[in-house]
Amino acid sequence: MWIGVLTLLPEILEAGTSGGVFARAVAAGIIDLHVFNPRDFSTDRHRNVDDKTYGGGAGMVMMNAPLTAALVAAQAAAPAGSPVILMSPQGAVFNQQTAVSMVDMPGLILVCGRYEGIDERFVQNYVDMEVSIGDYVLSGGELPALVVMDAIARHLPGTLGNSLSIIDESHLDGMLDYPHYTRPVEYAGDQVPDVLLSGNHTKVNEYRRREALKRTFDRRPELMTGRTFSERDQKLLRESFAAGQNGADENEA
């Protein structure tokens, strides 16, 4: 997948993509990553890319011309039809479904703002979508761009060493993930649940699904609102609630 990023701080992108799963995807040619620095397209001898905001106020605003020139260069290199996506706290909140939907796009051009923002005319004329990774403000769009790229890369064939890894991840089916354990069986007095050592795959799958449902109900109940549950999930939820009630009764006793 072709991905182009417009950023004034390419070193942040380099640091965030030089290791781990994403770096392996780049090395394998699964991700074709390109960085475009608007400062390289500034016609000012000082390579300025920002100026004071009209109407007064604190901070500077990224100028239209260098951004547009960088975008033109990115679009010339990108596959036709690649959307321009602005990392912005004002955008739609990025989630698992968004990541999956972006996998099928011909390419992506991610725009990372800095300072107080970017000239609104650039947004109106060129941006197809604004995306936020949460309701908070960061110093720039580079970290959100890294989050978006990493989430997308995990869904591209060949990125993960084990293709089954993504199947059970949190949020993929709207539920949180179940708890995981590894060796040793006992550590500091804490034991791995017996069912995971039983070798009974049916029981293991039931345990994991029950724990995923319970964890979602306890931590993110809003994810269950308006959801239709299978008969199996309803049974596991009832068992989980019953176990929780029995535990509460024993504590009260």
Is residue 189 within 8 A of residue 159, CB to CB? The reply is no
Q: Domain 2-153 carries which CATH code?
A: 3.40.1280.10
Res. 248 pLDDT band, cuts 50 70 90: low
Distance of CA 224 to the CA centre of its chain: 21
Round to whole Å and give the CA distance between 247 and 253.
10
Q: What is the mean pLDDT of residues 8-21?
A: 96
Residue ranges covered by each domain of the chain:
2-153, 186-252
pLDDT in tens, 132-164: 999 999 999 999 999 999 999 999 988 986 454
Nearest-angstrom CA–CA distance, 52 and 63: 9
Q: Tokens in use for 138?
A: 């960061």
Helix boundaries (H) for the chain: 10-16, 20-27, 64-77, 96-103, 120-126, 142-153, 201-219, 231-252
Alpha carbon separation from 182 to 4, 153, 169, 179, 187 (Å, rounded): 39, 26, 17, 11, 10
* pLDDT number for residue 160: 85
Rg (CA), the chain: 23
Using DSSP, state whether 56 is helix, strand or coil. coil
Over residues 63-103, the pLDDT tens digits come to 999 999 999 999 999 999 999 999 999 999 999 999 999 99
The predicted pLDDT at position 164 comes to 44
CATH architecture for segment(s) 186-252: Orthogonal Bundle (1.10)
Phi-psi region of 114 (alpha: psi -120 to 50; beta: other; left: phi over 0): beta
